[in-house]
């Protein structure tokens, strides 16, 4: 399999999962400014959406969308990073994946652009805060967002919450978030994915 990624982007979530599960996946770096690969290939020819992540299976089939790729990877080793399909616990993980994708991941959108007006930026940060409060509440009840064990939802949540550092979004009002980020950062798979993304060979 191949995982198309850009350093620090949301593709970091499946990159963590690849390392958590020890899956044989080749990481392929995409330059998101030019939408090209290192050999000059137009990335839109690979993924017409122009987005990372993209997972390419060994038969050439391609799968997109973070929440779907994460579950596809988890299901290569059932019972590890996602509860079995069809169980309520699985739907709970899917509920979080969807919330992280649509409410948190995309909630950061306006903050990436330097020309976003201050009022829009403030509104985006306030909306993110309401969502962070819900995550904080979940983390008060259990060690990870969907329960007592690390799941693919945590790989995604960790990835997007980390952007608060780069984008200077204050998470001090929800102290469990900083504790969670520090704890997840220590996982060997997170460190391995980080090292892989910063390797000059990629
Ligand atoms: N709905 C997509 C969103 C993916 C996404 O937003 N990817 C960003 C990086 S975090 C990207 O590739 N942006 C490049 C672009 O907009 O051209 C998914 O869930 O995979």
**Is it the case that residue 106 has pLDDT exceeding 90?**
yes
Q: Which residues contact 202 (CB under 8 A, 6 or more apart)?
A: 27, 28, 29, 196
Site residues for ligand 1, CB cut-off 6 Å: 9-10, 32, 50-52, 64-66, 101
**The tokens of 20 are what?**
């958590």
Per-residue pLDDT band at 199 (split at 50, 70, 90)? confident
pLDDT over 90 percentage in the chain: 98
Q: Provide mean pLDDT across the span 56-83.
A: 97
pLDDT over 70 percentage in the chain: 99
**Is it the case that residue 202 has pLDDT exceeding 60?**
no
- Residue 52 CA to ligand 1 centre (angstroms): 5
Buried-state track 91-101, b at ≥16 Cβ within 10 A, e below 16: ebbbebbebbb
Q: How much is the pLDDT for 200?
A: 62
β-pairing, 26-31 vs 2-5, is parallel
**Is it the case that residue 91 has pLDDT exceeding 70?**
yes
> What CATH architecture does domain 2-79+189-198 belong to?
3-Layer(aba) Sandwich (3.40)
Give residue-wise pLDDT tens across range 13-67: 999 999 999 999 999 999 999 999 999 999 999 999 999 999 999 999 999 999 9
pTM: 0.98
**Residue nearest ligand 1's atom 20 by CA:** 65
Q: What share of the chain is helix, strand, coil (3-state, %, to 5)?
A: 55, 10, 35
Q: How far is CA 38 from CA 16, 43, 52, 83, in A?
A: 22, 10, 15, 37
**Residue nearest ligand 1's atom 12 by CA:** 51
Q: Could you tell me the fold of the domain covering 88-187?
A: Glutathione S-transferase Yfyf (Class Pi); Chain A, domain 2 (1.20.1050)
DSSP category for residue 83: P
Residue 118 main-chain phi, psi, to 5 deg:
-55, -40
Choose the residue to mutate in 8, 31, 44, 52 for probing ligand 1, maximizing ligand atoms within 8 Å of C-beta.
Answer: 52
Per-residue pLDDT band at 83 (split at 50, 70, 90)? very high
Q: How much is the pLDDT for 161?
A: 98
Q: Provide mean pLDDT across the span 124-142.
A: 98
Average pLDDT, the chain: 97
Q: Where are the domains of the chain?
A: 2-79+189-198, 88-187
**Residue nearest ligand 1's atom 5 by CA:** 51
Give residue-wise pLDDT tens across range 145-192: 999 999 999 999 999 999 999 999 999 999 999 999 999 999 999 999
Tell me if the bond preceding 47 is cis, omega within 30° of 0.
no
Q: Provide mean pLDDT across the span 92-100.
A: 98
- Confirm whether 2-79+189-198 and 88-187 share one CATH topology: no
């Amino acid at each position: 399999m191949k995982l198309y990624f850009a350093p620090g982007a949301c593709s970091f979530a499946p990159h963590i999962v690849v390392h958590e599960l020890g899956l044989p996946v080749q990481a392929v770096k995409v330059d998101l400014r030019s939408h090209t690969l290192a050999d000059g290939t137009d990335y839109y020819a690979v993924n017409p959406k122009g987005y990372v992540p993209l997972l390419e299976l060994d038969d050439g089939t391609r799968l997109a969308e973070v929440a779907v790729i994460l579950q596809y990877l988890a299901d290569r080793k059932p019972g590890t990073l996602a509860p079995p399909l069809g169980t309520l616990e699985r739907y709970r993980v899917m509920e979080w994946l969807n919330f992280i994708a649509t409410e948190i991941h995309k909630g950061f959108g306006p903050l990436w652009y330097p020309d976003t007006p201050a009022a829009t930026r403030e509104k985006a940060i306030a909306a993110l805060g309401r969502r962070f409060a819900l995550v904080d509440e979940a983390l008060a009840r259990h060690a990870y967002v969907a329960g007592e064990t690390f799941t693919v939802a945590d790989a995604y949540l960790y990835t997007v919450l980390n952007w608060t550092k780069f984008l200077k979004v204050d998470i001090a009002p929800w102290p469990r978030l900083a504790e969670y980020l520090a704890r997840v950062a220590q996982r060997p798979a997170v460190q391995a994915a980080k090292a892989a993304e910063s390797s000059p060979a990629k």
